[in-house]
């Protein structure tokens, strides 16, 4: 594709260059015809009136006469380019008549030259020099329409190529993320299913003595694993609902501190198992917002769960709130592994999980933070983060009092 694109661009540029060269050849031919016509008309004019001094060319012709003749002949050829002219005397080796801005060096190098009075057989003839300062620009302006179309086509080809490559790359990345999601989902579901299966087999085994404590223990395990399966299924269903944008918010006034405290108490048990703690610092007053309480609870739960999950050893999680002019800011900070600058822009993408090489120490589907971001957008809120590798992460969530 790259080779084909370069070839197309090269052909287009080559065609444009050839078209300009053809225009230039036509222009040169037209100017030569103009110069020849001016010389003939000057000669015809001088037959009617011959000056006393035939030796000096400036006594035979005038500036205004030459200017008018050149302008007239150029108009006949539909040439509107700005021009300068001069009369070069070979005997005196200099320009003896011409426009004020005339540059002798440029004229001698680039101007079109036409011998004056060629029929008089003068030993050292004089020459009419015509110069177009912006010849190239004039030729390009004559092809403006074609050039615009050509350049537009080139840009469209380049844009289409770039867009195709970006789309292929995105599809490849999404495909990889979906494969990872399926693998993670399979692994996540497999564990509780295996546990439930083992518990059921144990209860069915005739060789195992059945007691009330045994029944309660196994039924408790089955119940816990069933709840775990339900929670994972709910996350996937939430993702499907988010993708279809079929969310209906049920808003009510509630105290965010009460909700956060409930979530902290539930997550706190998992944190204590890892010999960690959750610290709270509630400064927001008032602390009531008008929002969907269930989605707000899920939002806080996802952020605290992430903070615990990515703080492998002795997690210290700080949750604080404060008021701003139009709402409340909730900050959740941990001392975990952190997120690199490269990955910070992607962590809110659906199914995205920070790559860990060959390590698979952190469970999850990559749905939590994308859910958080979408929910905040529905509530007219926002989220930002500060993070550094091996130094933890801080999320700042803003929610208006009433969206």
pLDDT tens per residue across span 328-361: 999 999 988 888 887 777 777 766 666 554 444 5
pLDDT of residue 104: 76
On the question of pLDDT at 258 being above 90, the answer is yes
Q: Which of 39, 23, 41 is nearest to 81 (CA)?
A: 23
On the question of pLDDT at 365 being above 60, the answer is no
Model pLDDT for residues 166-186, shown as the tens digit of each residue: 999 888 877 876 776 676 667
Beta pairing, strands 126-131 & 288-292: unpaired
The mean predicted confidence, pLDDT, of the chain is 82
pLDDT class of 187 with cuts at 50, 70, 90: low
Q: What is the pTM of this model?
A: 0.51
pLDDT of residue 360: 46
For residue 138, the tally of other CB atoms under 10 A from its CB is: 17
pLDDT class of 363 with cuts at 50, 70, 90: low
Q: Which domains does the chain have, with CATH numbers?
A: 2-142 (no CATH), 146-244 (1.10.287.130), 251-400 (3.30.565.10)
Q: Out of 233-237, 380-384, 397-401, which region has the weakest mean confidence (pLDDT)?
A: 233-237
d(CA 275, CA 87): 100
Taking residues 14-36, report their average pLDDT.
Answer: 89
On the question of pLDDT at 364 being above 60, the answer is no
Give me the helices (H) in 111-211, please. 135-142, 144-204
On the question of pLDDT at 367 being above 70, the answer is no
Report for 60-69, 172-181, 222-231, 257-266: range of highest mean pLDDT: 257-266
pLDDT of residue 359: 45
Strand order in the sheet with 277-282: 277-282, 316-323, 327-333, 393-400, 382-387
pLDDT of residue 188: 67
């Amino acid at each position: 594709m790259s080779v084909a694109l370069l070839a197309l661009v090269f052909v287009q540029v080559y065609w444009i260059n050839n078209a300009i060269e053809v225009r230039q050849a036509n222009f040169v031919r037209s100017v030569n015809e103009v110069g020849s016509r001016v010389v003939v008309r000057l000669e015809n004019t001088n037959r009617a009136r011959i000056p006393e001094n035939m030796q000096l060319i400036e006594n035979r012709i005038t500036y205004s006469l030459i200017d008018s003749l050149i302008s007239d002949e150029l108009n006949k050829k539909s040439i509107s380019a700005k021009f300068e002219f001069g009369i070069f005397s070979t005997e005196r080796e200099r320009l003896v008549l011409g426009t004020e801005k005339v540059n002798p060096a440029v004229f001698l190098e680039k101007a079109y030259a036409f011998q004056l009075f060629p029929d008089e057989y003068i030993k050292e003839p004089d020459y009419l020099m015509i110069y177009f300062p912006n010849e190239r620009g004039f030729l390009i302006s004559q092809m403006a329409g074609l050039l615009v179309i050509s350049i537009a086509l080139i840009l469209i080809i380049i844009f289409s190529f770039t867009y195709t490559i970006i789309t292929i790359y995105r599809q490849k990345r999404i495909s990889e993320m979906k494969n990872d999601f399926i693998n993670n989902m399979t692994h996540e579901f497999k564990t509780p299913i295996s546990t439930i299966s083992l518990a059921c087999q144990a209860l069915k085994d005739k060789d195992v003595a059945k007691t009330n404590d045994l029944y309660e223990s196994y039924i408790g395990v089955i119940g816990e694993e069933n709840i775990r399966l339900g929670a994972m299924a709910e996350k996937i269903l939430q993702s499907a609902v988010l993708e279809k944008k079929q969310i209906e918010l049920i808003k009510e006034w509630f105290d965010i501190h009460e909700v956060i405290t409930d979530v902290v108490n539930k997550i706190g048990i998992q944190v204590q198992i890892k010999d960690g703690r959750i610290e709270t610092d509630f400064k927001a007053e008032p602390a009531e917002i008008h929002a969907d309480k269930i989605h707000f609870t899920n939002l806080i739960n996802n952020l605290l769960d992430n903070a615990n999950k990515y703080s492998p050893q002795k997690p210290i999680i700080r949750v604080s709130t404060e008021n701003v002019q139009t709402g409340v800011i909730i900050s959740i900070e941990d001392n975990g592994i952190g997120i690199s600058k490269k990955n910070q822009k992607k962590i809110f993408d659906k199914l995205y999980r920070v790559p860990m090489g060959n390590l698979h120490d952190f469970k999850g589907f990559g749905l939590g933070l994308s859910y958080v971001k979408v929910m905040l957008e529905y509530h007219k809120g926002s989220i930002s983060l500060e993070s550094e590798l091996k130094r933890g992460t801080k999320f700042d969530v803003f929610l208006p009092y009433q969206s």
